[in-house]
Structure 1
């Protein structure tokens, strides 16, 4: 059905099966929606699929170049749309209007996508009919209205305030051990952390969630030690994936996601080996997930960070033939129920399917003690990789989610030990944490000077007044904070750089080469950091 809809001074031609006008625009229904615009937009809001996926306003006059290497696509972007050249995004998209406002087309359901084809916003569902929100107005107002609709549809976080977190990742990466963490716990003193979270490195294998030999007393004993300080114990897991060397991969390949040809679905490469996705519709997988979360709670962990969750929503053949994001949400519902009232932070998570089932969600890539990795970000056109600028860019463009979920921008750095970030760049990360209202760091107390420790304590205890001014500009306790420079993209490649990109990108698509590079990079990184 085609009809005309007037939004402000613009008359749009709308193709949908059903429409219900409202104050901001209309609620539409249809498998495929087309909104023909009376102008050519020069900016498109691209919303990435999962936590790390690029989210930003993009220039519509530039053709989208695919990111490299292709071997990382499963871990960074939504696979079915990896080579889409037109501006596009997961579940929603928006364009700027000549009068300085926006027109947004946002899905109210799962397995949906929006693209801009030059004169129209086009929305589509992968399976059946679904609902859409079409609206015109100021960017902040329209995204807030969309967020409230999503909260009504999927649910909101239960809690008003987020906890203040120390996590082990950026100090040790995977090289953690019980004795070191016990020493750090004792060094915390009066630092105002609510949670001490043990990150990757405690488990036997990713997929085998028992304490390894570096934690001889077990995970319950460590949780007890943390709680003796008056803080909550937190634990990292990646329950929807399994590496090749894990017992799940070796003994339960029927639990894993397969493609149409019966091959296992590879979700990425990490830990110096391939890892694979679990099928969250398989009854035994759901039983395993529930038992694992209950075990974590029995150990005494009241804060749980779940990572690499996108694997549960990858395309594939499932035990039960249901849509992929619906299948993922089913698995997450099982996890949420088993965790009870534990605080749940999700990471590497598809955004919409996760809403209502977590307390917080990472809304950008990992930070790094490097501002920007030129090889990955510029040469490989991959803005989902770790880096302070990548984290700031995508997080800023997702803060509209704050009314319905705690938005985790990742950690802030206070130490000055072997770090390439300037004081100004570290300050930007601190501003982002204030604006996001989510505070975390990995800095070791022993790394901090007296003034740095004082700065960290002030960060943890202060509650600055935050005022939104414009798209990337805020007022923090009366001072103007302008983050607009942080969201800029690097310059286009010349012919020689494109040649290098082609060579390195294709080399990295060879699994053994990528694994060797990952292993070398990880070892060298740990040497420099530790």
Structure 2
């Protein structure tokens, strides 16, 4: 295979671009049928590095390019040549191009060049091209030195392999690419890819039960939690986990400061009540975040990630804006460790849903790339949590391979289906039922290989919801087919017989997918349940139902 290298860097205060070795740098490219490795060998200190390795690829016919999104919520799907990849949207870009609340840092917008053109796409860490039932896979074997980025130009018939190595200065050999190539049928290819990485999931046990978020959001209380626990606890033959989401703490970042109006008895008695029902107790945290008004942000500004002017950066609009913690700060690390010690060992929770984990690795720092920071942050969390369980969310996927038990692989479900006008102008990581569906379909390759996948909740209640009953049935079946994490956010005591039947069906392991076909947002899933063949068909964009 012939490749063209374009390598830009700074040495001796001069910016240079080369295609082969010179007096400053040399390159070692090793390739075979199963992949390639590219290493840069600097002869002096070099910085401001960017590069790509380009090859030809035939995109003729009906081939489709799979583009893996930056983090859990980033939209992920296969693209045809006549489609265009979204960006951070008008609202995400903000007035005069200034991103409000650092929304541009939620995704890969600051380090990936993505032109607004039909047929031009990019993918993070791994990608494939589908031709009928066969795929050509191009996957990184390790992104610890930086995020691998795969660019496809279906108009020019080219593929480019690159890596985000912004922010580092090197003076010794540095791995730029370590890629694995394969082709064949979907499942067989991904089996071999994960074997090549020596990655195995940490568990094979589904979690089924309840999370408080998609009904009450932050408006939870001890009374609400115990009421819903009592209701769903009656179905302990079907469920095994009860999770408390955001809203119990006085501020994001102040995890051990409990809102006494909501939870007057604290969190340990609630965990004890969950255990009395024979269930695992789960709780939500965003361990790398501190909202602007939190005590941790006010009292420990030295723990926060800062910009070049020394001001804390904002990495999302939630809670009025929040800052990331610098995990290379030892005091910040000690604080986070202490929080987990209390939550897991003193309060007694068994599972932690860890959210907004992208935050600590959105800018390169300490002569480390974003990818290196992401890997180190996940390693740190695994150390903190020990042998208890992690449900990852809002996090880059590859650093979590084999490191967390469960993983949200899509955007948050909305309480309705179609995108509103505002949503159409939002960033790729915003709340979206269509994006959550696509991510579940196209990241199924990670399920039972990297971790167990969480496609998000199914909701069957009749109030505080904008799905039709038919859409609720279809989404419940979809979650059943694609999910290893099956959570509801309803008070199940309110269910009538029909709702309870759907609830019971969703949590029963008696179905498997046979085939998946999508054309122009029309998705058809052939599956077998209890030995009988069925087809689930609907429009991903608007929720029109074709078959159940």
**TM-score over 0.5 (shorter chain):** yes
Once the 2 structures are TM-superposed, how far is the Cα of residue 270 of structure 1 from its aligned partner?
1.2
Deviations 1:41-92 (A, max 9, x none): 7532111010000101123344545232223332244531275443111112
Counterparts in 2 of 1:140 and 1:423: CA distance versus 1, 3 Å: farther
Distance 1:483 1:74 in 2: 35
Structure 1 residues not aligned, in runs of 5+: 5-14, 491-530
Distance 1:263 1:381 in 2: 26
Distance 1:87 1:399 in 2: 20
When the two structures are superposed, what TM-score results if normalisation uses the length of structure 2?
0.79
* Secondary structure at 1:205 match in 2: coil
Distance 2:196 2:487 in 1: 29
Q: 1:221 aligns with which of 269, 276, 280?
A: 269
- Paired residues for 1:308-323 under 5 Å: 308-317=356-365, 320-323=366-369
- 1:112 maps to 2:148: yes
RMSD: 2.6
- 1:440 maps to 2:440: no
Distance 2:471 2:427 in 1: 21
- 1:455 maps to 2:485: no
Distance 1:44 1:332 in 2: 29
Partner of 2:259: 212
Once the 2 structures are TM-superposed, how far is the Cα of residue 234 of structure 1 from its aligned partner?
0.8
Partner of 1:499: none
When the two structures are superposed, what TM-score results if normalisation uses the length of structure 1?
0.82
Indicate the structure with greater helix content: 1
Distance 2:248 2:190 in 1: 40
- 1:162 maps to 2:206: yes
Deviations 1:306-328 (A, max 9, x none): 111110110143xx332222222
Distance 1:278 1:483 in 2: 44
Retained in 2: the 8 A contact 1:105–1:121?
A: no
Distance 2:38 2:445 in 1: 24
Counterparts in 2 of 1:216 and 1:61: CA distance versus 1, 3 Å: same
Retained in 2: the 8 A contact 1:76–1:384?
A: yes
- Paired residues for 1:490-509 under 5 Å: none
Once the 2 structures are TM-superposed, how far is the Cα of residue 396 of structure 1 from its aligned partner?
0.8
Q: 1:279 aligns with which of 326, 343, 355?
A: 326
Retained in 2: the 8 A contact 1:236–1:305?
A: yes
Q: 1:94 aligns with which of 123, 128, 139?
A: 128
Once the 2 structures are TM-superposed, how far is the Cα of residue 209 of structure 1 from its aligned partner?
0.4
Distance 2:293 2:427 in 1: 28
Once the 2 structures are TM-superposed, how far is the Cα of residue 93 of structure 1 from its aligned partner?
2.5
Count of residue pairs the alignment pairs up: 469
Partner of 2:169: none
Partner of 1:525: none
Distance 2:251 2:128 in 1: 42
Partner of 2:192: 145
* Secondary structure at 2:315 match in 1: strand
Distance 2:270 2:305 in 1: 34
Retained in 1: the 8 A contact 2:418–2:542?
A: no
Partner of 2:17: none
* Secondary structure at 2:332 match in 1: helix
Distance 2:133 2:232 in 1: 49
Retained in 2: the 8 A contact 1:147–1:401?
A: no
Once the 2 structures are TM-superposed, how far is the Cα of residue 388 of structure 1 from its aligned partner?
2.2
Structure 2 residues not aligned, in runs of 5+: 5-19, 21-26, 41-51, 94-98, 166-173, 519-524
Q: 1:33 aligns with which of 39, 44, 53?
A: 53
Retained in 1: the 8 A contact 2:417–2:466?
A: yes
- 1:49 maps to 2:87: no
Once the 2 structures are TM-superposed, how far is the Cα of residue 471 of structure 1 from its aligned partner?
4.5
Once the 2 structures are TM-superposed, how far is the Cα of residue 411 of structure 1 from its aligned partner?
0.5
Distance 1:133 1:246 in 2: 44
Distance 2:460 2:196 in 1: 38
